Structure 1
Amino acid sequence: MQITFLIDDSSFKKEVEYVARVFSSVLAADIQVQDFQTPLEADAVALGYFSPENIKNLAVPEECRIWIIADSLFWKKYTQGKRAKTIKRRFGDCPIIQSPDKATPDAGNYKGLMIDQDIILSSFWLLSRYEECFEIEDRDQHDRYKFSNSVLAEDLGKSLIHLYLQQLVLWIKEQYKVTIPFRSANLEAVISHDIDIPYHFGKIRSVLSAAKARLTSQGMGSSAAHLLRYMKVRAGMGKDRNETFDYIMQTQAQRGIKSTWFILLCSDNLWGLDLDKYAKQLQSIAAAGHEIGLHPGYDSYINTEKRTTEKIAIEQMADCTIIGARNHFLRFKIPESYHIVHETGLIYDSTLGFAEREGFRAGFCSPFKPFDPQRRQTIDMLEIPMSIMDGTFRDYQHLPPPQAEVRIKAMIDHVADIRGSIVFNWHNTFLLAEEPAWRQVYENSLDYLIEKNASFSTADELARTWGGRWQ
């Protein structure tokens, strides 16, 4: 099925073409963009995307039965390189982004469907993270864009672009009696793990340093207990508390799931890791069929050289090739961090999410190629948005495990309804044996995904599938 967007202003054609590519990745349709004066192909489904001031004067083909009124005020400022002001207003169950003074034209004698909700602009604004590109001042202590500053703060739990597409499909069915299916038949799920501190006990120098700190802050008893636990682990009489790798892999193997492990390895090895031991562990994870990814260090989110060094070191340790990453502390600066992903030779990134709240930072749950609104170009890599992180519930929202589980299941329900993608981030240090309640939330989440007929994949498998939709 082919859908054609007809436009009357070519100054922002590349942005409309970008949105059309995103729409085509979700819908089983080839969406093209052309000037309204170019002849349409036979039996084409045509949607006009016209500026309100031009509508009465356009000689639009009769085959065009749906007109979406373009927010020309936004596009004019945008194409002039100026920051365009926007507001949010409601459109059914989801918001629409528009200029404060967007004009609404008189429909005149037009007999088709005229739509005042500019879902094309809203989709572009969301995917490009337009609001973040110009926010350089009010950032948090980790130099992150603040969740509270986002226009989407109240709507993060919805994949808005999927909702726009559902509405678009209804408009097309109403006007053309044609049903456009979605490409994905089921919910797609990725289980991933950020491995920040693989072992509680590092080499002896770090153990002694920690014991000294405990002696100063907590007294002799705490310091002695720390050293005793270390000696038991070294003697094989106990297991390192952070070493939850076997538990994670076993719970997934029982359910036929492979996951993605994002590995942090800073050059200064702050925790004094036994690198030979860690290398064997990573090779064991990879040998079991899981993906090894890069978890760039705290300063590597905008440093290509550091990121490349870390990538090479982990590839050598794990004896694998790394094609994706998620930044430590979710530090991400748009659009700079996207370009660094591409410059490092990676295929995908999976950082885009807020630490403070579960949901979809770009209003979209599925993989997509980002767009740089400053350079006005698509960036040749895929973003796989992270939507659920364990620490969001415990460390930021301070929720008990049962309430966190309710929130997680609500997210799964939404993504299942729209047949989208959902990406989890479970840290090894969150699934400790002494935290059985959180382990139960983790296991229940996996089981609920299975109940919802989720198709599981690693992040690299999902990237390859969706990357093919952009060819």
Structure 2
Amino acid sequence: MEIDTLYGRAIPEAAASGVSRASQTRYVLQHFWQCYPGPEALRTSVEGQMGKQLQIEDHAQGFFDDVAPFPPEPTWHEWLGQRIPFFFTSEGPLLELLPEQKVLVRADLISAAFYLLSGWQEYFSAERDQHGRFPYMASVQQRYGFVAVPVVNYYFDVLRKAIEHVTGQLLHPRCWAGNAQWAAFITHDIDSLHSAWKAPAKAALRQGRLLSFGRQFWRHFKEKDTWDNLAEVQQTVAGYGAKSTFFILPENEKAANGTPNADYQLTTIQAQWPALQAAGAEAAVHASIGTARNLSQLQTEAAAVGKATVPPLGLRFHYLCWEPRSTPQLVQQAGFSYDSTLGFAEHFGFRNSFCQPFYPFNFQTGAACDFLEIPLNVMDATLYHPRYLQLKPAEVLPALLPMLTEIVRFGGVCTVLWHNENFDPVNHHNGPREFHALMKYLRSRNASFVNGRDICEWM
């Protein structure tokens, strides 16, 4: 077992390094064609011309035969008006369009795209935070300042131009339902249904306002909690023509390290689910602390959520816990169609530098996993948590706009996580007002509102 360098805890051993150029190319092209669908004959033709008409230089110099998590510094080039880091490249123009429909791509798009999309950095790094997560502060996205730029999509655009020159055929990006240019996936992690009263009650008690404390305590037992609001959340989202996906947390005991799980029993959800489902809501699993490393526990929790609602297709791990050396295998073994955990808790943007759903890379088999990852782009807690961005309310939407513009540009999916407790009207930081502003923007840019099932079927 390897020991993480931040907290001294054991983490699983990494698989032996050594991912062949052929495996990298297959993985990268799988996702390129996902972005720019083309007829099978065109794909076969292009892949047959790799190294002939279409020459992509290899500058990795044995990097993928080792276990180093971080590559040499990137070279920066402008593409589509944006300054983009290109890893594993040489000086000179990105690509040369040569006579006779030949192209020389000087940027090693295969190595660079594989490095970011596969999550190589977090797989081979031993850095983990207090929740066992690969930390944003250790990432190349933070080091070089491109977390809100889907760099792999820019690499793919360079490749698109090269392929169009070689084949003489235009490649068009994937469209979403209703011929929409991009999509939005609106989700809610259901951690708490019965705890809205606690913070004001504790504050009243600390300040000696015993009457106020008593009122809060009385309301807790006599009135519906403000956070027990799933129907209201669903109705709010539906008001924008969107669908809610509820990630339901089946475990209500604290984790071994004291981290809280749910404050409710699944029977509470079960009683509400028929009406929510009739209104178009989707149920998914919010797997508890520790489950990212425990297949049996993950299967048990999936079965529990399925019994309370419907058999779930997707999941997201509580606290965005994800152990890159073992969790993808567990998700695949458990039979989920999709996961939506992979985002940085500390910053909005693109953890794998890609704005579309993708198939995580399995370092044990050297190929793509079977389940779809729908990356998490923006979480309400990220925007205001004292350890995260601490944005003022008026700063939230302006801060997100450059990221959203990138998703629109490349026809991606914007995955939003807004916890049900942050629909509480007393929240003036990352609450309903900020959610409404974001939803109005998504609607104004004609996003196709989808849920996890829609995305799986569409992909």
Which one of the candidate residues 383, 403, 412 is aligned to 1:420?
Answer: 412
Q: Does 1:71 pair with 2:55? A: no
Q: Does 1:365 pair with 2:365?
A: no
C-alpha contact (below 8 Å) 2:248/2:286 kept by paired residues: yes
Indicate which of 287, 306, 329 corresponds to 2:319: 329
1:220 is displaced (CA, Å) by 6.8
Other-structure match for 2:174: 183
Preserved contact between residue 20 and residue 32 of structure 1 (Cα < 8 Å): no
Residue type at the aligned position of 1:431: F
Q: CA deviation at 1:284?
A: 2.5
Deviations 1:369-415 (A, max 9, x none): 11123542221111110101111111111111110111233322221
Secondary structure of 2:246's partner?
Answer: strand
Contact 2:69–2:122 (CA<8 Å) still a contact in 1? no
Other-structure match for 1:200? 195
* Alignment equivalent of 1:246, drawn from 219, 231, 252: 231
Per-residue CA deviations over 1:399-441 (Å, capped at 9, x if unaligned) read: 1111011123332222112111110000011111212563122
TM-score, length-scaled by structure 2: 0.82
| Structure 2 counterparts to residues 437-448 of structure 1, below 5 A | 438-448=431-441
Change (3 A) 1:274 1:299: closer
Match of 2:289 in 1: 298
CA shift for structure 1 position 149: 1.0
Matching residue's letter, 1:90? W
Partner of 2:50: 48
Q: How do 1:153-192 and structure 2 match up within 5 A?
A: 153=142, 154-174=145-165, 176-184=167-175, 185=179, 186-192=181-187
Indicate yes or no: 2:131 matched with 1:145.
no
Query: What is the alpha-carbon distance in structure 2 between the residues aligned to residue 11 and residue 275 of structure 1?
Result: 46
Q: Which residue of 2 aligns with 1:5?
A: none
Identity %: 26
Partner of 1:456: 449
Alpha-carbon displacement from aligned partner over 1:167-196 (angstroms, at most 9, x marks no partner)? 222233445543111122511110001111
Secondary structure of 2:287's aligned partner = coil
Amino acid at match of 1:126: L
Q: What amino acid does structure 2 have at the position aligned with 1:199?
A: H
Distance 1:98 1:31 in 2: 30
TM-score by length of 1: 0.80
Distance between the aligned counterparts of 2:455 and 2:241, measured in 1? 16
Quick check: 1:114 aligned with 2:93? no
How many correspondences in the alignment? 415
Runs of 4+ in 1 over 4 A off after TM superposition: 30-34, 44-47, 102-105, 213-220, 269-272
Please tell me the residue identity of whatever aligns with 2:77: F
Which residue identity does 2:85 align to in structure 1? Answer: P
The Cα shift of 1:17 comes to 1.0
What value does the CA root-mean-square deviation take over the aligned residues?
3.1
How far is 1:223 from its partner? Answer: 4.2
Cα offset for 1:15? Answer: 2.0
Instruction: Please say if residues 250 and 265 of structure 2, whose CA atoms lie closer than 8 Å, have aligned partners that are also in contact.
Output: no
Partners of 1:165 and 1:156 lie apart in 2 by 17
Letter of the structure 2 residue corresponding to residue 352 of structure 1: L
Query: Aligned partners of 1:215 and 1:257: how far apart in 2?
Result: 38
In the alignment, structure 1 residue 264 sits paired with structure 2 residue 256: no
TM-superposed CA distance for 1:90, in Å, is 1.2
Local SS of the residue matching 1:293: strand
Q: Does 1:277 align with 2:268?
A: yes
Kindly tell me: are residues 177 and 115 of structure 1, through their superposed partners in 2, closer, same or farther at Cα, counting changes over 3 Å? same
Q: Structure 2: how far apart are the matches of 1:328 and 1:84? A: 26
Unpaired segments of 5 or more residues in structure 1? 1-9, 35-39, 50-59, 234-238, 467-471
Q: Does 1:23 align with 2:32?
A: yes
**Letter aligned with residue 414 of structure 2:** I
Shift of 1:355: 0.5
Give, in angstroms, the shift of residue 241 of structure 1: 1.8
CA distance in 1, matches of 2:410, 2:338: 23
Is the 1:267–1:310 contact (alpha carbons within 8 Å) kept by the matching residues of 2? no
Closer/same/farther in 2, CA of residues 271 and 176 from structure 1, 3 Å limit: closer
Equivalent-residue separation in structure 2 for 1:284 and 1:302 (angstroms): 34
Residue 76 of structure 2 is matched in structure 1 by 90
- Other-structure match for 1:55: none
Residue 432 of structure 2 corresponds to residue 430 of structure 1 = no
Which amino acid in structure 1 is aligned with residue 274 of structure 2? Q
